[in-house]
Amino acid sequence: MSSELVQRILKRDVRAVATAITLIENRDPKAQTVLKAIYGQTGRAHVIGVTGAAGTGKSTLIDRLTAEYRRRKRSVGILAVDPSSVFSTGAVLGDRVRLREHFLDGEVFIRSFASRGETGGLSAAVRDAIHLLDAMGKDIVIVETIGVGQDELEIAKLAYTVLVVLMPYIGDEVQAMTAGYGEIADILVVNKADLAGAAETLRQLKAVFGESDPLVMAASALKNEGINALVEAIEQRRAQSLRNGSYEKKRLDLCRQELLALLRARIFADLAQKIGADSLDENARLIADRRVDPYSATEQMAKKAGLT
Amino acid sequence: MSSELVQRILKRDVRAVATAITLIENRDPKAQTVLKAIYGQTGRAHVIGVTGAAGTGKSTLIDRLTAEYRRRKRSVGILAVDPSSVFSTGAVLGDRVRLREHFLDGEVFIRSFASRGETGGLSAAVRDAIHLLDAMGKDIVIVETIGVGQDELEIAKLAYTVLVVLMPYIGDEVQAMTAGYGEIADILVVNKADLAGAAETLRQLKAVFGESDPLVMAASALKNEGINALVEAIEQRRAQSLRNGSYEKKRLDLCRQELLALLRARIFADLAQKIGADSLDENARLIADRRVDPYSATEQMAKKAGLT
């Protein structure tokens, strides 16, 4: 069954990809069989991370980027990581009304992930899904995340190009809101550039970041302004990174990060098995009663599990 | 030297606590010696998590809460986890002007943590710092985080009571912005309740969350309104949880989570040693060249490291 699924994924069968992503989300062991089989066909997609706070118009911007890439005859996959999708499906769908037109376009694949469970679990699932969309031949894979938390940072790190979407702010807030973005962003997009304060926000951002790293750009997704220039900038950076070797370096680094994340998950599963739930509960009880400290308990349990 | 530091911490010496937190931040092995020694004196502080997006007025609210608790003769420790503190120290300090008056109050301890490094590293450091403030006799430990990312969620989980701070929004945004908050919040605080739209925001939140879980409250930190009622609500929930056993359950769960986090860190350090950097680089290269898939590479490396 897995090999049939693999064949269908490589033949760009949207329903097969959707099935495989469900396997990934459910941590079904079949997912890894599929991922192993398709991995050789990956490494071609340009993965673009788009992050920023709620209300900045990320979804609309992604919609416009998708339309522009489709105009350029590039196929697009969208993975939306939405911590709010737990129960606000209505609101999120409402937010995505414009994306619906792309549903009718066979070359656009859209899928949402809810942010739940263990730290790292989400980024692992997204990474696996990127491989699938890559293997099915998507030229562009857009990964949308909300916020600047650690998990979102991890997901942003899965991308070759990271856009951080802001909206115009007033005065001192700019610095506070954008601090930290500089570390992850390749391009800072001031969306809603038609609103008051946009010029001042741009000026302040350029004062902080200079002209190139990250690149500061204005756009109005709603009015469809600045989108072509943004795609041009993304593509130029991509071409440049291919020439100067930074793409290759990033590619190796992504593989290294993926390997570390997989090893971390693997070893923790192993630990849970070796230690067992009983010992964990028993030690938690001792710690809660202050009969042992958590650091000593950890040392003892690690010793028992055969760690050096 | 460690035992002298421990004595000074237990005698509420602020400089000793600051020194110990620096040891924690630097991952100095001495930190654990200190933490083990003071752990028996912990478990008394009421840890209150305060989270919410930038611009919601968290800092001012925390300032007001601190003043109210001081009025009630309770000592207060504040741990501010600030992903933006990497280079926006100026802005953050500006934001904290009002907190400065508390610096003059010996019963208020304030410390910031920058959000950097490995996932989980920050929450481990904050957890350790909570133990210190607890052991030095702080009645209230307020942990401030920004955003709703996974790391912030982890830190929120360190608290017995979690406040999520919002500001008035318009229409549909409320639902999108607050989804996910319900999972972590004990109390949703609509700050800036003097602004237009506050009544409508409150109405919508109450429509979503009902009357109690989470509790939805209004406040204006700037105008110092609603603060006493908020502290009353926090204290009532605390008293109730002590009576109905949910406090004890939460306490046990926190110990369990801490133990798991420590084991995870411990085992990963062990893995890095067993595998070595060379093997990691070599495998990353093979994966980048698509000569092996990351899942099979992980299995092989785990096997080599002696995992079952």
Residues 215-234 of B with CB under 8 A from A: none
A60 touching B, CB under 8 A?
no
Query: How far is Cα B290 from Cα B184, in angstroms, rounded to an integer?
Result: 41
Whether residue A87 and residue B262 make contact (CB cut-off 8 A), yes or no, is no
From chain A, the residues in CB contact with B271 under 8 A are 263-264, 267
From chain A, the residues in CB contact with B150 under 8 A are 115, 119, 122, 149-152
List per-residue pLDDT tens for chain B, 308 residues long.
688 999 999 999 999 999 999 999 888 999 999 999 999 999 999 999 998 777 788 888 999 999 999 999 999 999 988 654 433 333 333 344 445 566 556 678 888 876 555 556 778 889 999 999 999 999 999 998 875 455 666 777 789 999 988 888 644 445 545 556 666 789 999 999 988 888 888 888 888 788 777 899 999 999 999 999 999 999 999 999 999 999 999 999 999 989 988 988 887 777 777 788 788 889 999 999 999 999 999 999 888 877 76
Query: How far is Cα A202 from Cα A217, in angstroms, rounded to an integer?
Result: 8
Kindly state the tokens that stand for A109: 């694949």
**Stretch A15-41: mean pLDDT, rounded?**
93
pLDDT in tens, A93-117: 334 444 556 655 667 888 887 655 5
Query: How far is Cα A206 from Cα A195, in angstroms, rounded to an integer?
Result: 18
A269 touching B, CB under 8 A?
no
At A97, is the secondary structure helix, strand, or coil?
coil
Whether residue A39 and residue B293 make contact (CB cut-off 8 A), yes or no, is yes
pLDDT at B212: 76
Helix (H) / strand (E) containing B118: none
Whether residue B295 and residue A36 make contact (CB cut-off 8 A), yes or no, is yes
- Count CB neighbours of A163 within 10 A: 31
Contact B198, B204 (CB under 8 A): no
ipTM: 0.82
What value does the CA radius of gyration of chain A take, rounded to a whole number of Å?
A: 22
Averaged pLDDT of chain A: 83
What value does the CA radius of gyration of chain B take, rounded to a whole number of Å?
A: 22
Query: How far is Cα A163 from Cα A144, in angstroms, rounded to an integer?
Result: 10
Does the reported pTM lie above 0.80? Answer: no
Contact A266, B298 (CB under 8 A): yes
Query: How far is Cα B54 from Cα A53, in angstroms, rounded to an integer?
Result: 10
From chain B, the residues in CB contact with A270 under 8 A are 302, 307-308
Query: How far is Cα A126 from Cα B307, in angstroms, rounded to an integer?
Result: 26
Would you mind telling me the total number of residues written for chain B in this entry?
308
Whether residue B179 and residue A88 make contact (CB cut-off 8 A), yes or no, is yes
pLDDT at B51: 85
Query: How far is Cα B147 from Cα B166, in angstroms, rounded to an integer?
Result: 11
Q: Which of A101-105, A151-155, A191-195 reaches the highest mean pLDDT?
A: A191-195
By Cβ distance, the residue of B40, B83, B256 closest to A284 is: B256
From chain B, the residues in CB contact with A120 under 8 A are 119
Task: Using a pLDDT cut of 90, give the percent of chain A over it.
Answer: 47
- Neighbouring residues of A130: CB distance < 8 A, sequence distance ≥ 6: A45, A47, A79, A141, A143, A158
**Stretch A178-205: mean pLDDT, rounded?**
82
DSSP string, A8-42: HHHTT-HHHHHHHHHHHHTT-HHHHHHHHHHGGG-
Helix (H) / strand (E) containing A73: none
B92 touching A, CB under 8 A?
yes
State the smallest CA–CA distance between residue A71 and chain B in angstroms: 31
Give which of B90, B146, B197, B148 is closest to A116, Cα–Cα: B148
Query: How far is Cα A282 from Cα B252, in angstroms, rounded to an integer?
Result: 10
- Count CB neighbours of B48 within 10 A: 25
pLDDT in tens, A263-306: 888 877 777 777 887 888 899 999 999 999 999 999 998 888 77
Kindly state the tokens that stand for B81: 């986890």
pLDDT at B176: 47
pLDDT in tens, A242-256: 999 999 999 999 999
Any idea which of A61-65, A78-82, B83-87, B132-136 has the lowest mean pLDDT? B83-87
Count Cβ atoms within 10 A of the Cβ of residue B59 and give its class: 0-12 exposed, 13-18 middle, 19 or more buried: buried
Residues 157-186 of A with CB under 8 A from B: 169, 172-173, 175-177, 179-180, 182-183
Kindly state the tokens that stand for B77: 């420790």
Residue B101 Cα distances to A41, A308, B64, B106, B282, angstroms: 61, 49, 11, 11, 55
Kindly state the tokens that stand for A271: 């630990």
Query: How far is Cα B77 from Cα B111, in angstroms, rounded to an integer?
Result: 8
* CB environment B121-152: b (16+ within 10 A), e (fewer): bbbbbbbbbbbbbbbbbbbbbbbbbbbbbbbb
